[in-house]
Structure formats: C-alpha cells, structure tokens
Structure 1
Amino acid sequence: MKHSFFISLLLFSVSFPVLLQAQAIIPFAKGIADKKEIKLSEVASAIKYIPLETTAESLLEQDILDVTIAGGYLFVCDYKKLFQFTLEGKFVRQIGRAGQGPGEYTESILGVTYNERLKEIYLSDPRQLKLHVYSFDGKFLHDINMEGREYVRLQNDGCFYAIYNDFLYDKQKRGKEMVVYDGDGKELYNFRFRPKEGVRYPGINFTLPVIYTYQNAIYYKNPLEQEINRIEKKKRKPVYKLDLHDLEKLNHEEDGKLVIDREKQVGGYQPNEIAKKKIYFQDIFELDHNMGIYYIQEDERRFAWYDKQNGKVCRVRSLQADKDGFTDDLEGGSPVLPNFLRNGKLVGVVPAPVLQEKVDPENVRGSLKRVMEELLEEDNQVIQIVTLK
C-alpha cells in the first residue's frame, strides 16, 4: 500500500511540475547576444499573406496598434482608425470615427479589444472616460462610463483589464499600473506600482505594461520590472523573471530630456544615447513549449524566442537578413517578425515596399505569389498569418 502511495505521488509530481517549480529565470540578456536563424517550417505548418485592400477610405498609417482575427474578419487599428477587412483582405468598413458626437472617440485610439461571443468591439477612449461599444457590423451600440483613464487592452470573462504608464507620477510613486473593471466600468480591483527602496526611477515613462493570456490565465509585466506575473485571486504571482544582467541598470536611465533655449524661447527633446541600449518589451506570446518576446532596442524592432524546455533564449535573425524574424522557407517571403498572437496564430505586418524590395518574385509561392503579382509600392501593409505546429 505504501508503494502504491509513493508511486501515485511521483506520478502526480511529474504530471504537474508547474505546481512544484519556483519562479523560472529566463536568461534574456545572455540569449539575445547571439543571433540564430530559425526557419518558419521549424515552428509552423503554414503561412498566409493577406494584402489589405487600399482605397481612399481604408488607407492605413505606418504604425499598427493591433491586428485581431475575430468573427471571420480581420480588424486592423493604426492608432487613428479602426478598419474591418475580410479574411482575404477586402475592405468592409471603418468602425467609429474621431469626433465629439455619440460613439465618436477623441483624436486617437489607445486600446481596442473584442468579444467574439457577443460580437462586440470595445474601443478605449480614456480622454472621455469612456469605452465605446460597437457591433461587428459597425453599429455604435452604447458607451460604458469608466472610472479611470487607463487604456483597456484585454477583455476576459466579462471583465476589462486596463493598463497605464503614468504610475510614476504619483507623489509616492505608487500610482495604479493596472486596473480591472467589471462590465459596467466599475473598478473591481487594481495593482499599484511598488517602488523598491534605493532604486532611482526615470522621470518619464513612455512604455506600457505588457498583458497577455495563456491557458485561460492573465499574465502581466510592469515596464520597469522584469517579473512576469500571473494574476490569481486578485493577486500577482511571479512566474517568470527576465534576466537582463548588466542591461538592467539601464532601465533607470532617462530616455531623454527637454532642452530649452531661453534666449530664443524654443525647446526641444534631446535623446539619451546611453538609454538606446535599454530593452523596451512590447509584447509577449506564450505557447506550450516556447515564448516569443517582441522588444525594441537601439531604435530597432527585435524578436527573441525562449525554449521553455531547455531554458535557452536566442534572438531570431538570419545572418543574411536585415531584420529580425523567422526565415520564411514556406513561401519565400520576408522574415516573419510576429507582432501579435491571435487565436493561436502568429500575426506579422509587412509594409508593401519592403516586400517589393526584399522578395524575389521568381522564388515565391503559395499565397505570396498571388500577392506579389498585383502589389504596388503605395499599397497598405500585408498581413502574415502563421499557423503554428
């Protein structure tokens, strides 16, 4: 009987290792020092290139806030407008617009999220303390009055998860960095910044926290701390730590400073050259065996790949490529730098001129071959949808 008990206990331990493990250390700084080529076929079974239809009504800005696959559509937001396309890239409509009327948002979009079950879109407008709600067919439904000015970036189980980067401006540097609201916009609970004694923090912080879902749980990372926390019962539980080694001391460097010429009565922003080596984490995509980490360093968008089984990190970039990303050996396209993880698929965004310049039309195949036959330099971006193995 004793033997049966110990065997059962051993099997339980093997089956549920996460319960027994302490916080995992991700050797980030050490890993990104080396570039490694990873072919797309090593991690994915397919890629689809989707050209977004370019019209006077659907012209996108250069920077993209979000691309989401929901309800059989592609929703693309460029900070100023939210567009709806078919899964083949044909323009359907614009969702909402800037203005002061009902259902109109103030100047720019700082957060957008979707509910596929209800077929609803939630567009964050912190300047008006509102969350504008639209249907998937573009109709304005109603506003949710919010209690705070945070940016709603995630909707899960009827709750809205909102993040902010102004927590440093609180007198005690204990401002709210994330707030959870109910479906009516009422605050349920919040997490405040926890400054560490003796640590100097920058006066200005432009980087937003990272928030993502994995296996029905919410994960969160403050931009000034290296811990990735899982939210459990209104508490933060550290599950990973990104080891920045010597780079961590740069976190507290100012990104720049305001310089004023009093004689000419003009001012300007002077960047801090030392701070360019700082790591600015933009997004994290967690999978069962890997983790994708999208970050900015030295004014360049970069991508790292963490193998959860062997504990190693690498910066993903072919020696022949001029940008980070998986080498597209499936259709012969440009490197795939994932910007988002949506419905289990990696999503990349490629400017049309980049494809025209970097891709050899004679070597492309599949969906990319059809795209390249009609692509123009002034066209909208092309979306890469990657189906993982």
Structure 2
Amino acid sequence: MCNMRELVIVIVALFLISCEQENEINDLRVIDVESNVGKSRQVFLSEVAESIEYIPLETTEESFLGIPSRNQFVYENDLLFVCQKGDYFKIFNSKGNYLSAFNQRGNGPKEYVVPNMFVVDSSAKVLSIGSVRNIVEFKITGEYIRTINYPVEESLRGLRYNDLGKIGNNYYILSHNINTSKDNLNYSAIILDSTSKIVLKIPYPKISREFVNKLAQKKLFNGLRIPTSQITPRLFRFKNNVRVITETDENIISVNEDLLIDTVYRLKYGKYCIKNYPDSYNITTTNAPFLQLYGGIYESSAFLFMSFRTGKLPLKHWEYTNRNGVKMSSPVSCSYFNKKTGQFTFIDPCGLDEFGLIDDIEGGPAFWPRYISQDDYMVNHIDAFTFIQYAKTNNVSEKFKKIAASLNESNNLVLIRVKLKDK
C-alpha cells in the first residue's frame, strides 16, 4: 500500500514537471531564438500584412527631404514627421501632401538646443523633443507647451541620455549610454513626470551588470574598447507602453501608464547568448559564435520585428552594394515573432540590396520597418531614383509602374506604408 502511494506521488510529480515544461514551451512570452538558428526562410509580406501603399511625398523647394536617419522618421495618426539635419521637422499627411515645417532650435527658454531624439503622441498633436538638457513639448503647429528638465542628482552624474519614450500623456522614460569608465551601471532607464520629478528608476539587470564589470576589467587589462552597443539599454514603443531591453539581458520589460513593470518577452538565446562569451568584445563581428540585437525593434498588435548580428552562425548574410558600387556582405539577419502563435522566424535575404519581407502584393523591393504606428501601420521610404529603376528591372504591379511613370528621378522620397494584420 505504501509503495502504491509512493508510486502515485512520483507519477503526480512527473506530471507536474511535464506541465511546467510544456507551459514554458507554450508561453507566448518566450521567444525561442536558439532552436531556430539554421532554420531561416524567405518570408512574404502577405504573411503579416493586409496591404502596401507607395505614396510619393510632395516635391517643392520647401518640402524636399534629405535621407533621414533611423530614429528621425515617425508616423502617427496619418501624419508623417521627419527630422532634418538635426534642426527642424517637416510634416506630411497620409496622401503625401506637405503640411508644414517646424523649427524651434535655439538657446531660449522655449526652444530646444539640438533635437537628439523625439516622440509623437498617438493623437499626433504633441511633439516632444529630447535635447542635451531637457525635453521640450510643442503642439505640431509650433506652439510651446512646457519644458521638462533632466534631473540633477548624484546617482545620475555623468549620464548622457540616448533614447526617449513617452508613457501615456504625463510620463517620459529616458535610457542612457553605458560607459564602463564610469560607475553608471545603476539604472537602465529613469522615468520623469511633467514636473521633472523622477517617479521611477529601472535598475540595470544584476546579471548584466556583473557581465559588463567583467568586460570592463578585461578591457582595462588588455587596453581594448568595449562596444557600447553591447551594453547600452534600448527602448521601443508599443501602444502607450514602452519596452526596455539591455543587449546583454534576455528579458524585455514593459512599463505601462500606471508605471507598472512587467516582463513581457524573454529572448531564449541558449548557447548563443553573449553572456557565455566573456571575451566577446575581442571577437570580430564575422567570427562571433553568439547573437546580438542589431538596429531597432518594432512591435505591432500581432508581431515583433527584430534584426540580429549573426556572426559565424548558419544564417545567410545580407548582401548589399556600398557607396562605391562594391558588393559587400554583412552577417545580419532580420526576423519576426508571431505574438499569437509564439512562432519565431529568421528571414532569409531575397537578393542583392534586398532586406526584409518580399513584397508579393505589389512586386516592390523587400520591405523592413523603420517605425510602427499605434494603429499598426509600419512605414519606411524609398528615393525616387531607386523606385523608378526598380520598376524598369523587376516584375512589379501595374499600380507600381503607374507611380514610377509619374516620378522624376529628382522627386522627393516615396513613403511606403504597410497595414499589418492584427492576428
């Protein structure tokens, strides 16, 4: 009888362990990167999107754009905001019409010094510009609203903020560059209210701090420099929440409007985690046996889009032509995570100078997001010359050909707007 009871206990225990393991596998918050290395494939845009539009931006002397950097291109509530030359902003509507320019740069109390970073609220009515010493809010018409000064306290001495997010209407989150020559590993980010008061500090992950300190000690011993991209926290936005991740950490945390923090995703790197390699700073990009996040992270209702440096792992390299016309290869792969099914996919490149999702809807060039709006539009741009040439040399749709025929090579950028599926 006793043996039978012990047998039942063992069976129940094994059942519970099995359930726990199954729950971990089926937990949609776990992004299983490790088991998908070597299993990449080409992905068509129609797998994640309902439609794609190519919208030529109005071309005038006043509206013409230079090529914006990654974080200087925002689309919300049918309005496009582009920061130009680190000085001013130009605004277009969803039809490509030029609406206005915005420039309040200066040293005055209602001006910004240099717009290092900016965010637009979901209604596209407030433009918040992060500068070297404060955040300045404006209506998109240019009317000044208020200034939120960066806090001054001993624990934040020497910090240089590198990323800005807005949580709801009243809170801002700031991440900062990590410099191992200074003791600034206390926080991944801080959160301010509209009165410049610190309401929350997000600790730098303990395990990551230990890893970075080891890197710093090795750096001092060998006289080598640690790439700050390995250790600096980054922010990305989803709806009214802001996500935070440190490159050496596997957890992506989220802060909501009530300032509640939760771990929303865990990147399961396994044996490809950078923390397994304490000499990672001394390994060349092409020889790295680990994965590193590369570029921005973009999230919609149904998907998460990420890119990785893949080193010498069995994933196809991105091939592109440099400014001198020379063919180059880079160990970079893009990927996406389906939030509804829990499936993670590495995406194969689809040709020279093609990066991302194959446009099987209009036949245009491969697409990769530069921004995702809160209503699930992902956007990027293409210059007029490239658009025209692509139409001539590829099997594109009649709609694509018609747009190309309407352009001159010297025209303004073409906005690419993709409506994502929500399930």
Tell me the TM-score normalised to structure 2 length. Answer: 0.70
Structure 1 counterpart of 2:267, one-letter code? L
* 2:56 is the counterpart of 1:51: yes
**CA-atom RMSD in angstroms:** 3.7
SS in structure 2 of the partner of residue 88 of structure 1: coil
**2:376 & 2:341 partners in 1: Cα distance?**
22
**Who is 2:32 aligned against?**
27
Q: What percentage of aligned pairs have identical amino acids?
A: 19
Aligned residues: 356
Q: Which residue of 1 aligns with 2:377?
A: 345
SS in 2 for 1:282: coil
**One-letter identity of the residue aligned with 2:101:** Q
Alignment of 1:387 with 2:419, yes or no, is yes
Question: For residues 223-238 of structure 1, what are the structure 2 equivalents within 5 Å?
Answer: 223-231=247-255, 234=259, 236-238=261-263
Instruction: Work out which of the residue numbers 106, 110, 120 in structure 2 matches 1:114.
Output: 120
> Do residues 220 (structure 1) and 244 (structure 2) align?
yes
In structure 1, C-alpha distance between the alignment counterparts of 2:353 and 2:236, rounded to whole Å: 28
Inter-CA distance 136–249: structure 2 relative to 1 (3 Å threshold):
closer
For the residues of structure 1 that align with 2:196 and 2:96, how far apart are their CA atoms?
34
Aligned to 1:331: 362
CA deviation after TM superposition for structure 1 residue 100, in Å: 2.9
Rounded Cα–Cα distance in structure 2 between residues aligned with 1:307 and 1:180? 29
In the other structure, the counterpart of 2:188 is 177
Q: 1:265 maps to what in 2?
A: none
- Rounded to whole Å, the distance in 1 between the matches of 2:71 and 2:237 is 18
Q: Which amino acid aligns with 2:127?
A: I
Shift in Å, 1:178: 0.9
Looking at structure 2, the residues matched to 238 and 168 of structure 1 have their Cα atoms a distance apart, in angstroms, of 26
What per-residue deviation string (whole Å, max 9, x for no partner) do you get for residues 200-243 of structure 1?
34644146534344465443212221211233775643332212
SS class of match (1:74): strand
* 1:1-389 correspondence to structure 2 within 5 Å: 24-31=29-36, 33-57=38-62, 58-77=64-83, 80=86, 81-107=88-114, 109-117=115-123, 119-125=125-131, 127=132, 129-147=133-151, 150=161, 151-166=163-178, 168-171=180-183, 173-196=184-207, 199=211, 200-201=214-215, 203-206=226-229, 209-214=233-238, 217-231=241-255, 234=259, 236-249=261-274, 274=287, 279-295=292-308, 302-317=333-348, 319-320=350-351, 322-342=353-373, 343-360=375-392, 363-365=395-397, 368-389=400-421
Closer/same/farther in 2, CA of residues 290 and 86 from structure 1, 3 Å limit: closer
Deviations 1:167-216 (A, max 9, x none): 64542x53322111112222111112134375234644146534344465
**One-letter identity of the residue aligned with 1:285:** Y
3-state SS of paired residue (2:58) = coil
CA pair 349-369 structure 1, distance change in 2 beyond 3 A:
same
Are the equivalent residues in 2 in contact too, given 1:114–1:120 (CA < 8 A)?
yes
Q: Is the partner of 2:82 in helix, strand or coil?
A: strand
Shift of 1:166: 2.5
In the alignment, structure 2 segments of 5+ residues that lack a partner are 1-21, 153-159, 217-225, 312-329
Change (3 A) 1:30 1:340: farther
Partner of 1:7 in structure 2?
Answer: none
Q: How many angstroms apart in 2 are the aligned matches of 1:296 and 1:156?
A: 33
Greater share of helix = 2
Letter in 2 for 1:83: K
Q: Which amino acid in the other structure matches residue 65 of structure 2?
A: L
Tell me how far apart the structure 2 counterparts of residues 185 and 219 of structure 1 sit (CA, whole Å). Answer: 21
- CA separation in 2, counterparts of 1:336 and 1:135? 32
Equivalent-residue separation in structure 1 for 2:251 and 2:343 (angstroms): 17
Contact 1:167 1:193 in 2 (8 A): no
By how many angstroms is 1:18 displaced? Answer: 9.9
- Cα distance in 2 for residues equivalent to 1:71 and 1:290: 20
Structure-1 separation of matches of 2:172 and 2:298: 20
Provide the rounded CA distance (Å) in 2 between the counterparts of 1:371 and 1:124: 37
Higher strand fraction (1 or 2):
1
- Which sections of structure 1, spanning at least 5 residues, go unmatched? 1-16, 258-270
TM (norm. structure 1) is: 0.76
